[in-house]
Chain A
Amino acid sequence: MNAQERILARIREALKVPAPKPGSHGHGGHGRDVAPAPVFAFQGRPVQVARSWLPPGGSTPQEHLTRFAAASAELKTDFRCVESESEAHAQLRHIADSEGWARVASHHSPLTDAATAALARPTLFTDGGYVPDELEVCEVGITTCDVLVAQTGSLVVNSRTSGGRALSVLPPHHVVLARKDQLVCDLTDAFQRVEQLHGAHWPSMISLVTGPSRTGDIERILVLGAHGPKKLTVLMW
């Protein structure tokens, strides 16, 4: 018997005696009593029900947008919803000038290719591999995302179509380019969208990013940019 079989055998032995269902405080146990019926029956997927108890994300696209903007403001994400792609590029150039970006990092995709061309600065593309030291000195990482979440102000990047694992977290500024139709109501919708996009062939990493990097480890005082980006900008049109 190998270690896996030994541990599984111990688990099966332990589970021979049933445990009381949750919510039966102080009662049941030892398998003597009849376990009380669960409040929410285990039929199929309890989370589909649980969704209605979570913080709401809004019910119309406009509400989603309002909710995402409010969450972004609280998280200190710089969220800009603009009219067109060219306006997004103009905003990007403005940020680049004011922060003095000398080296930009990005990956190839229709949205990012157009943006990096508009920026016209030395650009490191991470596709197909890169030298970490070269990425570390870039002032910004520009990526696409899979989906944005109104409920939480989050966005999802992955290791295959958002330029790898490090691009969105190593440079001190992370800029995300997104389309309005990528914004969904809540985390349940977001995981469904991610499954539609990648379920047949999962990337090795999928990250739900919510605001710039933060810590409260010193006297519970919020500091941005602990190890990851100090700034997170979302440009959406």
Chain B
Amino acid sequence: MSNAAQQFLEAAGTITRNLRHRGLIQTALRKYEVARDRKKSAFNDWSSARQSAAETKWDAINHLDTYLTEFTSKIEARGTKVHWCTTGPEARDTIRGIIKDAKAKCVVKSKAMTAEEIHLNEALEKDGFEVVESDLGEFIVQLRKEPPYHIVFPAMHLTRDEISDLFERELGSAPTREPEELTMIARRALRRKYIQADVGITGANFAIAETGMVSITENEGNARLTAALPRVMVTLLGIEKILPKLEDLALFLPLLATAGAGQTVTGYNTLYGGPRQPGESDGPIEWHVVLLDNRRTELLADPEQRDALHCIRCGACLNVCPIFRNVGGHTYGTTYSGPVGSVITPHLRGLQEWKHLSNASSLCGACTEACPVKIDLHHHLLQNRRNAVGDSPSWIERLAWRAHAFAVNTPALYQFGQEVARIVEPLRLRLQGTPLDPVKSWTRTRDLPPVAPESFKEWWRNRR
């Protein structure tokens, strides 16, 4: 078993017994479900909207080279510098270079899962830069020195009391039980940062090929401030974020907000097409767009699972997943958790090390049903299981299956096996639960169905 698998099992074993955690997640996700269902019902036809979104994303991903070229040439024409980065370290070094050239001290950052993916903050802090997360949830988990718990709701696992204690300890604020007051503490702490910061770093939700713009979705206004006041702006995005046309957003913005947060559209959806243009009163003088591959092209090369690149990171599949709801976000030990994380992580970080994630699923298909761009998530988990075995077959398993195949293809042998099973079953039942049970790895957490008193063949013979 890989280290990652061992850690997953241990963390899952602990957290599933934690009733406090369970209560928090259930409450948060129940609220989400009510809001999402209400907003879904406002659609004239939710399932057709999903199909249309899936086809638009299919078009974008299956013509990725054309659209990326169009995007780049349009956005460069307005004075934006585009950087193409093959690996995480390359992207990190590019951004470190930009910040050093800007002679920056303070960096303000809005939420970006791609930055988590390449461990940007750690790298920048090691260089001695102060990096301030401005999204409230991210600000909280940054103070706790923790990765985000959920790709959309980073601090979902914390109570207001824990957040109050954290603010008291880290920011010296007075304790409070009011979410509003806690939010205002963060607002006051961050307000100066937007004005002081030399560099603002953002992620992006969509890249529009037709007009050469990125679109950033948020609720708080922190991304807008991050992109307004610092003199240098950096936007980091994966190459799969492409949408062909501006008006595609008319479909994707409501779809993302409804599936992700139960909103019609989120508070701010902002298009950026360049640094400050002539005649404009503010905005960064320099804008760097960093396009990240980081093995996305390897996923692209698998036509069976290529649609995993359609993902718009709404988090809907996490919210409905019975595994996620039990083990929580941190157990996965990955940047992207839940069903979509289990599908893409083996591609991005190595199949053998992360193949256990394919089993972190009941294959119920709730994720596939919830996905607003119709990614075939639960089938991809099955395909990853198959690929993991094909990649590195275990000889014991191969031998066992060959023996099984031989037995079921040889009627006499099969019948003999049945007789033996019937005879030894009372003995096995007596051993069940003791260390001597020969199938204890199965019966520890599951029932073993009893051997039938007669086989179908015998039953049929007796009836005639």
Contact = CB atoms under 8 A, between A and B. Distances in A.
A226 to B, nearest CB: 4
Interface stretch (B14-22, B78-86, B323-331, B336-344): B78-86
B269 A225 contact: no
A98 B269 CA distance: 31
B171 interface: no
Given A166-B225, A191-B247, 14 more contacts: A8-B65, A10-B301, A11-B239, A17-B303, A22-B373, A47-B250, A164-B281, A188-B250, A195-B246, A206-B271, A218-B155, A219-B179, A220-B28, A221-B179
Interface residues of A, number: 96
- Which of A21, A130, A186 has the most CB atoms of chain B within a 10 A radius of its CB? A21
A205 B213 CA distance: 9
A122 interface: no
Contacts of B220: 213-215, 226-228
A226 B225 contact: no
9 contacts: A10-B293, A11-B64, A38-B58, A39-B51, A46-B56, A127-B281, A220-B27, A227-B221, A227-B222
Interface in A37-65: 38-40, 42, 45-56
Given A127-B281, A187-B253, A202-B211, A227 B55 contact: no
Contacts of B153: 216-217, 220
A233 interface: no
A166 B281 CA distance: 9
B10 to A, nearest CB: 28
A159 B304 CA distance: 43
Given A25-B379, A152-B264, A204-B283, A218 B249 contact: no
Interface in A1-35: 2-4, 6-8, 10-15, 17-23, 25-26, 29-31
Contacts of B274: 202, 204
A34 to B, nearest CB: 14
B219 A214 contact: yes
B8 interface: no
Top 9 A-B residue pairs of the complex, sorted by shortest distance between their CB atoms = A228-B221, A22-B54, A226-B220, A29-B304, A165-B228, A187-B250, A14-B301, A217-B137, A164-B281
Given A12-B65, A42-B55, A203-B273, A218 B136 contact: yes
B173 interface: no
A173 to B, nearest CB: 13
A161 to B, nearest CB: 10
Contact of B301 (A3, A13, A71): A13
A107 interface: yes
A6 B239 CA distance: 13
B272 A204 contact: yes
A23 B182 contact: no
Interface in B272-287: 272-277, 279-283
A166 B282 contact: yes
Contacts of B7: none
Contacts of A52: 44-45
B304 A23 contact: no
Given A208-B253, A218-B155, A40 B52 contact: yes
B6 interface: no
Contacts of A91: none
Nearest to B74: A202
Q: Max chain B CB contacts within 10 Å: which of A20, A130, A187? A: A187
Contacts of A102: none
A110 interface: no
Contacts of B433: none
A135 to B, nearest CB: 9
Contact of B219 (A30, A167, A215, A219): A215
Contacts of B277: 159-160, 203-204
